[in-house]
């Protein structure tokens, strides 16, 4: 089973601070997706990383895919209260097309 | 392009009843997956349908079933509801272009009393 481990589980910071969320696996993934989910809503896709070593930027969010495609990180610069949410990483499994593995998520709370 | 829609958004049932949830994928997407999300277990994969056929199945009891119609809309059914079935049920659709990404609907919050 290709497990995805996210750390930390919970992060509480003040507005303006930076934060980093990690997604690690012992298995290789062909791609990894990052989602943000707000309470009572479905996860919203933020980005997909595909190439080992890839860095993608989305405004204040920077996503990195490890060289070996086994890990990924999400860095938020100057966090804002609107960044509050559950951040999930996910990747397609190799044992069955169309099946995805999700991390347990990192709950981020940004207070004004 | 309209996103994934799920109905109903909220549902309250009692133990022993059955429930049917509906999902309409993004236009042109033929793959629909269902997930159960609870605070303790996170997102757990239920099953995936592609072109009206169940292609993948997670580790859930037979009380959980689904189907997909020719227009790619999908339904999920849970029979003989148990208290532990209370959860947010999410549907995700996936197209054949792009990077194999899933797009989620808003979910159906099911409460079993």
Q: Are B55 and A97 in contact (CB < 8 Å)?
A: yes
| Strand pairing report for A71-76 and A61-65 | antiparallel
Name residues whose C-beta falls within 8 Å of residue A1's C-beta, 6 or more positions apart in sequence: A101
Dmax (CA) for chain A in angstroms is 44
Nearest CB to A42: which of B42, B100, B106?
A: B106
CA distance B8 to B24: 12
Select from B38, B43, B51 the residue whose CB has the most chain A CBs within 10 Å, as the one to mutate to test that interface: B43
Nearest CB to B43: which of A33, A98, A102?
A: A102
Contacting residues of A for B56, CB less than 8 Å apart: 96-99
pLDDT tens-place values along chain B, 113 residues long: 679 999 999 999 999 999 999 999 999 999 999 999 998 888 999 999 999 999 888 899 999 999 999 999 999 999 999 999 999 999 999 987 666 789 999 999 999 99
CA distance A4 to A100: 10
Q: Which residue of B has its CA nearest to A86?
A: B42
CA distance A34 to A77: 16
Q: Which residue of B has its CA nearest to A96?
A: B56
């Amino acid at each position: 089973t290709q497990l995805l481990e996210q750390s930390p589980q919970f992060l509480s910071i003040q507005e303006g601070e930076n934060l980093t969320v990690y997604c690690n696996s012992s298995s290789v993934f062909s791609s990894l997706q990052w989602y943000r989910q707000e309470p009572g809503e479905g996860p919203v896709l933020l980005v997909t990383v595909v190439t080992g070593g890839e860095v993608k930027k989305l405004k204040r969010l920077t996503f990195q895919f490890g060289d070996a495609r086994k890990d990924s990180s999400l860095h938020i610069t100057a966090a804002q209260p609107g960044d509050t949410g559950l951040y999930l990483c996910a990747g397609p499994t190799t044992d069955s097309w169309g099946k995805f593995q999700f991390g347990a998520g990192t709950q981020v709370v940004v207070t004004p | 392009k309209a996103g994934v829609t799920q109905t109903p958004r909220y549902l309250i049932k009692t133990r022993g009843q059955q429930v049917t949830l509906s999902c309409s994928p993004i236009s042109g997407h033929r793959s629909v997956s269902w997930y159960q999300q609870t605070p303790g277990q996170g997102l757990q994969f239920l099953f995936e349908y592609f072109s009206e056929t169940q292609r993948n199945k997670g580790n859930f009891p037979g009380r959980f079933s689904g189907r997909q119609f020719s227009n790619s809309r999908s339904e999920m059914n849970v029979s003989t509801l148990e208290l532990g079935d209370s959860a947010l049920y999410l549907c995700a659709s996936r197209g054949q272009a792009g990077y194999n990404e899933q797009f989620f609907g808003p979910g159906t919050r099911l409460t079993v009393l």
